[in-house]
Amino acid sequence: MTGATQDLQRALMVSAARGMSRTEIEERALRAANGLRELGVKPNGIVALLLRNDFVFFEALRAVTALGASPVAVNWHLTGNEVRYVLEDCGAKVLVAHADLLSLLSDAIPDGFKVLGVDTPPEVIEAYNLDPSRGRLDTAVESWGRWLEGFAPLTDICRDFNETMIYTSGTTGKPKGVRRFPQSEENAQRLLALRDRIYGIEPGIRALICGPLYHAAPNAFAMRAAVAAEKLIMMPRFDAEAFLGSVAHNRITTVFMVPTMFVRLLKLPQETRARYDVSSLRHITTAAAHCPPDVKKAITQWFGPIVHEFYGSTESSYVSYCSPDDAAARPGTVGRLVDGVRVRFLDEQGHDVPTGEPGEIYTRLSFAPDFTYANRPEDRASLEIGGLIGTGDVGYLDAGGYLFLCDRRRDMVISGGVNIYPAEIEAELVSLEGVRDCAVFGVPDQEYGEKLIAVVEPDKGAKLSADGIVAQLKSRLAGFKVPRIIEFRSELPRDDAGKIYKHQVRGSYRQEFARLNSATSANLAD
């Protein structure tokens, strides 16, 4: 056995051929915490992280929380202008970022920011097929690793439980930072215990991180797994066969996945699936988008009755939990309400609907910390009715107490587990030359859950093409926000005030795409 192999076996975290122990990560994090304090980061302050899946994410997050401050995990798919908006809005003055991402930002970083750069790891370069030169820091950028070595480890560590600040898009088209308020030690421990139960976190697990750490659910899973795990394996990017290989090789027991990952696994040929022993898996948690019943059934037939699902949101925390037994008893449910949750189902006039009838879901978990939106208290206030929070989902409880989701009152689209709000995309579309108006919405998609479609009404005489519009949107928006399908209509239906009857446009497309997906879904379980 080589020395490198022994080192990887002793490591807590492993990414390809690299490994780090829990002691190494903690020491580096506490050195960085002292450095951040020297830079002026105070309790309740903010530090921005623009990082791919790498050890440094854990180092930086631990460093920030050790000071009693909050990390902001920035989605690295965003364009430079979108990143700049988040950096300005959150109030941070320090940014920790990978070299390849910094190379794309040019003048997007606001003046006065302290930037600490990290060389992009070779496995990330390979996974994303990046030019290796982009992974090396510019000499003008201070290196995170060399910088933190100049400080002694922090000794007066803050013991408060600080969550990562996640930016979630809003119906107005601008992302909103969800800032949690402090909570009591008792409530913090209750929340962590619930999180551990849902994610299957317990001492000695062998966990696999296969989703991006800037996303709320993979972030929460990874941070708790880092405390309890015997081994924590990081994938730089999800790949279906590589996932199976990692499970088999590392004897993974516990993982968080989004439904899109299930779909990609189920598309693998049977002979590929058969090559990997996945019998070590004991607990799979899924969320971020509701898992279609046929997909969950097919995955359960493959991996066994180990698929757990929860429903909640960044704002409302956990609402319901669906065990494998629940899924078998009530296909399609997102489970029963977790202890401590109050819920109401309201119609469009704000009245309670009868049991079993769909209504907009308003909830409150009694021991979850309250929140505000950074710089937007009025948006936070608009979500609340009678002390409960609504984020636009529509559903109902059946007679047995099982929660089912139907639709979303607002226009949010969930594609591949990522929240997308059409208002932002529509604002960009109508700013393009030749576009009179448009409607953007989601349609059912077997792989991603939903995919974006834009129906565009051109100006009279304008010559527009789908390819041309896509090219312009890609320069303005992150790739996942660019509609997969663009169609044209000479006129969109409107009311007397000129507002588009979006539900009419959306309805016909959703029915057609649902029919097409239904015709192929049976193949998933074969």
- Is the Cβ–Cβ distance between 153 and 27 less than 8 Å? yes
Beta bridge partners of 317: 313
> Residue 511: which H helix or E strand, with range?
helix 502-521
Look at residue 524 in the predicted model and tell me its pLDDT. Answer: 35
- Is the Cβ–Cβ distance between 504 and 437 less than 8 Å? no
Burial 155-192 (b: 16+ CB within 10 A, else e): eebeeebbbbbbbbbbbeebbbbbbbeebeeebbebbe
Take residue 294 and report the two structure tokens written for it. Answer: 């046929």
Look at residue 324 in the predicted model and tell me its pLDDT. Answer: 97
The domains of the chain, with CATH numbers, are 13-157 (3.40.50.980), 187-304 (3.40.50.980), 308-410 (2.30.38.10), 413-525 (3.30.300.30)
Residue 3's pLDDT band (boundaries 50, 70, 90)?
Answer: very low
- Is the Cβ–Cβ distance between 85 and 174 less than 8 Å? yes
Distance CA 69, CA 42 (A): 6
- Is the Cβ–Cβ distance between 220 and 162 less than 8 Å? no
Take residue 180 and report the two structure tokens written for it. Answer: 């949690």
Quick: pLDDT tens for 500-516.
Answer: 778 788 877 877 776 65
Distance of CA 113 to the CA centre of its chain: 26
Q: What is the mean predicted confidence (pLDDT) over 338-359?
A: 92
Look at residue 515 in the predicted model and tell me its pLDDT. Answer: 60
Distance of CA 109 to the CA centre of its chain: 23
Burial 271-292 (b: 16+ CB within 10 A, else e): eeeeebebeebbbbbbbbbbbb
| Residues above pLDDT 70, as percent of the chain | 94
Q: What is the mean predicted confidence (pLDDT) over 234-263?
A: 95
- Flag whether pLDDT at 525 surpasses 50: no
- Flag whether pLDDT at 423 surpasses 80: no
DSSP 524: G
Angle between helices 293-303 and 259-266 (to 10 degrees): 60
| Residues above pLDDT 90, as percent of the chain | 66
Distance CA 289, CA 194 (A): 20
Beta bridge partners of 308: 285
Residue 160's pLDDT band (boundaries 50, 70, 90)?
Answer: confident
pTM exceeds cut of 0.95: no
